[in-house]
């Protein structure tokens, strides 16, 4: 498929059955995915600021991280119910939700990483840290629910959705790429490569400023659909105002089998990703075993660029073969590449991995495999976003209710409850290998326990997650042909509803 055909596909099917979006809207609307990921990246350092700024011990921090994630999951269905019930009104509702989410997360982040640092310790330090974190969680949940509905609402064209989710994936990786490089080459060197309170406070203001830029881009992109005309038409196919609550969410979980398959595939991936990309695990891999954080960042930059190209090509693959087939194929590819990386590290051992940061064949092989890993993960991320949108449309066809917020909440509620184990496992695991009062820092000496713990987190857990994908897809019915049938059914029901008015 050449570039002209790719662009033509992104322009839509030119079919009255589908709701199409402009190229500008698709490019700008998903910028909130980048803003959300910036806050997620910032909060990856929360365990460090809890220890350095509030005097919270390492093991206690793990318990707090788990409690925070459970609280986060519990918030999701309540916030989603508010979103789905909320009338659009003259000025829409998506921008209102996003503004509340961004505002709350920024205030909470500045309190945590700057204003309240070193003001409390002991029991009060734990209490204050938990309260601020809870405030952040509520804001982040509002931001997430509002943001995840954007691809579903903006377009239901099967040719556009892969490109829409490619755009979201692009922002998801572009934003961390920006802030990680600023952290590695600008902020950390000014603080002797230590994640201390001063370093994280400076990073906080920079991260929040960049996130605001992504929010403004999103506001421009969603303006054409964030109104009563578009959102009102999608609310229900029954002609009546829908009721959305915990009962409807539970019923959807019981009846909607594709949603359950999606939860299994997505939650297992998120648990694995949470553990493999945890800031503590990243420090152990890049700052201790490879022992060159800056060189590893450059390697990741190169791999990320290739990955972004594959995310675009992955959108073409998904548009041609559908979400189900794409998820199966690229899960196998991810497993194969990760096994290659694991084998390379095992051959080099805990004291030989530093050769990756120096150069030569070890670096070349590592860079090549990382490029393959990022490329395969990009395609899966694009497919995952499209899967959520497909399930929302399936639910609209099945029940007559358009509940993108609740579909997202059903997934995130379960995913966060499972993923809450990740932070706890990481903090307790590093405590078992000797880090009981401080977190691992760059420059620490490698050891056999640290090596095998890092290998298990970085490669072992993701492989288990992709195996869960393969199992879940055996029971997932929404292939390409089934989605064409669903969109045709929805169009016919809308036409019949309009005829009654």
Percentage of the chain modeled with pLDDT above 90 = 21
Superfamily covering domain 22-492: MFS general substrate transporter like domains (1.20.1250.20)
Report pLDDT for 336: 94
Q: What is the CA radius of gyration of the chain?
A: 22
Cα torsion through 310, 20, 30, 297, rounded to 10: 10
Neighbours of 501 (CB within 10 A): 5
Which ranges constitute the DSSP H helices of 223-256? 228-234, 246-255
Task: Tell me the per-residue pLDDT of 409-449, one tens digit each, with 9 for 90 and over.
Answer: 777 776 666 666 666 778 788 888 887 777 787 778 888 98
The more confidently predicted of residues 230 and 106 is 106
The more confidently predicted of residues 199 and 5 is 199
- For the segment 468-473, the average pLDDT, to the nearest whole number, is 92
Task: Tell me the per-residue pLDDT of 150-197, one tens digit each, with 9 for 90 and over.
Answer: 887 888 777 777 777 778 878 887 888 888 888 888 898 888 888 888
Greatest Cα pair distance in the chain: 74
Task: Tell me the per-residue pLDDT of 45-88, one tens digit each, with 9 for 90 and over.
Answer: 888 888 888 888 776 876 787 777 778 777 877 887 788 777 77
Confidence of residue 17 (pLDDT cuts 50, 70, 90): low
Neighbours of 489 (CB within 10 A): 17
The more confidently predicted of residues 419 and 353 is 353
Count of CA atoms in the C-beta half-sphere (13 A) of 358: 9
Burial of residue 209, with CB atoms counted within 10 A of its CB: 0-12 exposed, 13-18 middle, 19 or more buried = exposed
- For the segment 213-231, the average pLDDT, to the nearest whole number, is 85
The full set of domain ranges for the chain reads: 22-492
Rounded Cα gap, residues 333 and 329, in angstroms = 7
For the cut 50, the answer to whether the pLDDT of residue 2 exceeds it is no
Predicted TM-score of the model (pTM): 0.69
Report pLDDT for 240: 54
Residue linked to tokens 């299994």: 264
Report pLDDT for 416: 66
Neighbours of 378 (CB within 10 A): 27
For the cut 90, the answer to whether the pLDDT of residue 132 exceeds it is yes
Report pLDDT for 246: 66
Confidence of residue 206 (pLDDT cuts 50, 70, 90): very high
Task: Tell me the per-residue pLDDT of 315-331, one tens digit each, with 9 for 90 and over.
Answer: 778 878 888 999 999 99
**Average pLDDT value for the chain:** 82
**Contacts with 137 (C-beta within 8 Å, 6 or more apart), sequence order:** 68, 71, 72, 75
Neighbours of 474 (CB within 10 A): 9
**Contacts with 254 (C-beta within 8 Å, 6 or more apart), sequence order:** none
For the cut 70, the answer to whether the pLDDT of residue 267 exceeds it is yes
Rounded Cα gap, residues 139 and 103, in angstroms = 8
The more confidently predicted of residues 133 and 163 is 133
């Amino acid at each position: 498929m050449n570039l002209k055909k790719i662009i033509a596909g992104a322009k839509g099917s030119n079919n009255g059955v589908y709701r199409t979006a402009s190229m500008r809207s698709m490019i700008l609307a998903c910028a909130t995915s980048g803003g959300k990921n910036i806050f997620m990246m910032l909060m990856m350092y929360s365990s460090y600021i809890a220890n350095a700024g509030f005097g919270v011990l390492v093991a206690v921090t793990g318990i707090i991280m788990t409690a925070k994630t459970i609280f986060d999951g519990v918030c999701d269905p309540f916030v989603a119910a508010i979103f789905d019930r909320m009338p659009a009104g003259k000025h829409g509702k998506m921008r209102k939700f996003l503004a509340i989410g961004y505002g709350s997360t920024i205030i909470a982040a500045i309190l945590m990483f700057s204003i309240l640092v070193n003001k409390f310790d002991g029991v009060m330090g734990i209490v204050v840290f938990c309260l601020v974190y809870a405030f952040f969680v509520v804001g982040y949940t509002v931001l997430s629910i509002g943001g995840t509905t954007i691809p579903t609402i903006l377009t239901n064209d099967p040719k556009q959705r892969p490109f829409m989710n490619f755009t979201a994936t692009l922002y998801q990786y572009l934003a961390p790429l920006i802030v990680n490089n600023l952290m590695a080459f600008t902020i950390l060197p000014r603080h002797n490569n230590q994640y201390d309170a001063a370093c994280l406070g400076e990073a906080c203001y920079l991260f929040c400023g960049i996130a605001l830029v992504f929010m403004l881009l999103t506001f421009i992109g969603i303006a054409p659909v964030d109104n009563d005309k578009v959102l009102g038409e999608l609310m229900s196919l029954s002609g009546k105002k829908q009721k959305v609550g915990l009962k409807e969410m539970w019923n959807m979980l019981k009846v909607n089998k594709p949603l359950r398959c999606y939860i299994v595939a997505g939650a297992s991936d998120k648990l694995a990703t949470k553990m493999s990309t945890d800031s503590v695990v990243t420090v152990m891999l890049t700052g201790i075993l490879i022992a060159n954080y800056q060189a590893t960042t450059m390697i990741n930059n190169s791999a990320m660029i290739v990955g972004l190209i594959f995310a675009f090509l992955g959108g073409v693959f998904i548009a041609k073969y559908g979400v189900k087939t794409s998820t199966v194929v690229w899960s196998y590819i991810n497993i194969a590449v990760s096994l290659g990386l694991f084998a390379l590290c095992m051959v080099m051992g805990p004291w030989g991995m530093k050769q990756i940061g120096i150069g030569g064949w070890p670096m070349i092989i590592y860079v090549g495999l990382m490029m393959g890993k990022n490329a395969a993960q990009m395609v899966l991320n694009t497919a995952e976003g499209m899967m959520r949108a497909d399930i929302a449309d399936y639910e609209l066809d099945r029940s007559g209710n358009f509940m993108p917020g609740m579909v997202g909440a059903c997934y995130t509620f379960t995913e966060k409850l499972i993923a809450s184990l990740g932070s706890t496992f990481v903090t307790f695991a590093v405590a078992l290998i000797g880090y009981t009062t401080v977190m691992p820092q760059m420059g620490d000496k490698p050891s056999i326990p640290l090596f095998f713990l890092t290998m298990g987190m970085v490669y072992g857990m993701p492989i288990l997650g992709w195996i869960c994908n393969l199992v879940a897809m055996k029971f997932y019915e929404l292939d390409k042909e089934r989605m064409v049938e669903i969109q045709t059914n929805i169009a016919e029901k809308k036409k019949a509803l309009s005829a009654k008015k």
